[in-house]
Amino acid sequence: MKQNTKVNTICKLQNIAVTVGFTDNFKKQFQDDYAITVTNGEAGVKVFEKEQLGKTFFFKVPEKKNSVQLTVKATTTANTQIAQNYTVTKPADAEGNSNLVSGDEFTVNIDAGNEPSVDPTTQIELNISVDLTMNETGLTIEIPTENIVFNGDGGSTPDPDVPDPDDPGKDQITVTGLGETYNLPLSEGQKVLVNISAPKGITKLLVKIDSDNEEFMATLGGFGLAEEFDIANPGKLFDVLSNSLESGNGIGLIDPDDPIKGKTSYLFDVTDFMVLLNLYAPSTNTFTLTVEDGVSEPVSGTLTVVASNLE
């Protein structure tokens, strides 16, 4: 055990925190299409993809729960796909309280295993270690291996893209289309779409565009879009976001006659925006979207668009 000095923020005090990382050994044996789904046992679901590794995400403290669940989806270098589910249970003697409490922080580290004995379906084992830092004492402990239980192929962790109608979290935000990479120019008929479901109504739809092309970033800056912006609450950016690219006065990301705020479903179509990116090749561009409904855990993810020079 080791003693850590911690400074708690209000956010930490009201939530549990989860950080996910992989060892170099895992990265050598698996392709980089991995995705880790973490749930707090209620409506809080977060998908960690390559871009989110090492980042910390916060979940509402579930009532009378003592564990979090995680599903590891990955593809080996030999093209074997896995979807392994684990339950990580807080030790019963931790701080005298075995239930999850505000300020608990889980740091998950995933390694490739050496013994093909855990998963009878794929014969692929993962070694998962978890450190738990407890809020009241600031003490960090390694959760015993017997508290990290393999539940099988896929297990019971809910897939945020396929809500379970019998689950209390059925009204959570779900998003499909994030995590994709598109190469420009698009093939004929190809669309760039993100499908959002928010049964409680969208309150914010935050967009952050980044690029390694300085000219493109300067163009965004000229429109006032170099920083994160909210297309559900465009405010003074309404004209820029709604005017068409052809007009030269905007980027056409929203329909001026179809407000996003309050919608329970929304198809975010950025296909036409790819025309602008084609002008700034070569470049690698990311669109980070965060959807909020004011109640559920926000859901975020990234689209990547690679624009190449045509020879």
Q: 50 to each of 53, 110, 235, 245, 301, how far by Cα in Å? A: 6, 13, 33, 32, 10
Candidates 46, 295, 307; CA nearest to 179 is: 46
Please write the tens of the pLDDT for every residue from 213-224.
999 999 999 989
The pTM of this model reads 0.48
Q: What is the pLDDT of residue 287?
A: 92
User: Is the per-residue pLDDT at 12 higher than 50?
Assistant: no
Select, from the ranges 26-35, 40-49, 178-187, 209-218, the one with the highest average predicted confidence (pLDDT): 209-218
- Residue 247 to residue 63: CA distance in whole angstroms: 53
Please write the tens of the pLDDT for every residue from 264-273.
889 988 888 8
With the C-alpha atoms ordered 260, 266, 268, 272, is the resulting torsion angle positive or negative? negative
In terms of DSSP bridges, do strands 204-211 and 181-184 run parallel, antiparallel, or are they unpaired?
A: unpaired
- CB of 225 closer than 8 Å to CB of 209: yes
Q: Which of 78-87, 128-137, 157-166, 221-230 has the lowest mean pLDDT?
A: 157-166
Percent of the chain surpassing pLDDT 90? 16
- Residue 252 to residue 272: CA distance in whole angstroms: 8
Q: What is the pLDDT of residue 251?
A: 86
- Residue 157 to residue 159: CA distance in whole angstroms: 6
Average pLDDT over residues 238-242: 91
Spell out the domains of the chain, with CATH numbers in brackets.
Answer: 15-134 (2.60.40), 171-307 (2.60.40)
Q: Which of 62-76, 123-137, 287-301 has the lowest mean pLDDT?
A: 123-137
**Higher confidence at residue 22 or residue 3?**
22
- Residue 286 to residue 262: CA distance in whole angstroms: 26
User: Is the per-residue pLDDT at 58 higher than 50?
Assistant: yes
DSSP code string of 183-224: EESPPTT---EEEEE-TT--SEEEEEEEES-HHHHHHHHHHT
Please write the tens of the pLDDT for every residue from 154-205.
544 444 444 444 444 457 888 888 888 889 888 888 888 888 988 889 999 9
